[in-house]
Amino acid sequence: MKTGFKIGDVSDKTGLTIYTLRYYEKEGLLPPIPRDKQLNGKRIYSDDHIFWIELVRCLRETGMPLDKIREIVRLSIIGDETIEERKSILFEHEKAVVEKIEDLNKTLKKIRKKIAFYNGETDKC
Partner DNA sequence: GATTGACCTCGAGTCTACTCAAGCTGTTAT
Partner DNA sequence: ATAACAGCTTGAGTAGACTCGAGGTCAATC
Q: Residues in the site for a second copy, rule: CB under 8 A? A: 54-55, 58-59, 61-63, 83, 86-87, 90-91, 93-94, 97-98, 100-101, 104-105, 107-108, 110-112, 114-115, 118-119, 125
Please name which of 53, 59, 40 lies closest in space to residue 9, comparing C-alpha atoms: 53
- Closer Cβ to DNA, 8 or 111, answer by number: 8
Number of neighbouring beta carbons within 10 Å of residue 19: 10
- Considering only residues 7 to 26 of the shown chain, the ones binding DNA according to CB under 7 A are 7-9, 11, 17-20, 22-23
Residues forming beta bridges with residue 5, ordered by sequence position: 45
> Do the beta carbons of residue 69 and residue 29 sit within 8 Å?
yes
Minimum distance of a second copy from residue 71's CB (angstroms): 14
